[in-house]
A = this chain, B = another copy of it.
Amino acid sequence: MNVDDALSLLKSRKKRLTRMRKHTLDIIYTGGPVSAPDILKTLKMKKHPVNKSTLYREIKFLLKLGLINEVQLDTYVTHYESAFLTHHHHLVCKNCGNIKELICDELEGPLEKLEKRVRTKGFLINDHNLEFFGLCSSCN
């Protein structure tokens, strides 16, 4: 599911395809995990400035429709990414803030086993969140 697919989906659901909606989707789908302030800056740079209220409402809209997901990387801003990526984790550079996706199947086995074990103790797990922190190749 790329940006065009997402736009088709919106059209089929009778949602409007405004310029800002297209731009926002494009940034989130191609830019990896991005925050609202990130998107605002990018749009401003690309000469398509949006009001922050509009952007936050747009994000809520895309979340509700299941086109994007929230990613909680640090505590003070929320990041967003495409909802159609394969299960993955994140590498966060503590120096420059750069975020990379990390796809690794090898952990899923142990994680599932653990989740089942905890389930038997009364806690029902239905999701997990795994991030790695360190220095990216440019910063070390």
| Chain A positions near chain B (C-beta within 8 angstroms) | 72-78, 91, 93, 100, 102, 104, 106-107, 110-111, 113-115, 118, 121-137, 140
Contact = CB atoms under 8 A, between A and B. Distances in A.
B137 A122 contact: yes
Contact of A136 (B100, B123, B134): B123
A125 B75 CA distance: 17
Given A75-B76, A123-B91, A132 B118 contact: yes
Given A72-B74, A75-B77, A106-B110, A125 B132 contact: yes
The dominant DSSP class at the A interface is mixed
Contacts of A73: 72, 75
Contacts of A126: 133-135
Given A72-B75, A74-B129, 17 more contacts: A72-B73, A73-B75, A75-B76, A75-B78, A76-B76, A91-B123, A91-B125, A106-B113, A118-B132, A121-B137, A122-B137, A123-B137, A124-B134, A125-B133, A128-B130, A128-B133, A129-B131
A128 B131 CA distance: 6
Given A76-B78, A106-B110, A123 B134 contact: yes
A138 to B, nearest CB: 9
Contact of A110 (B72, B107, B121, B128): B107
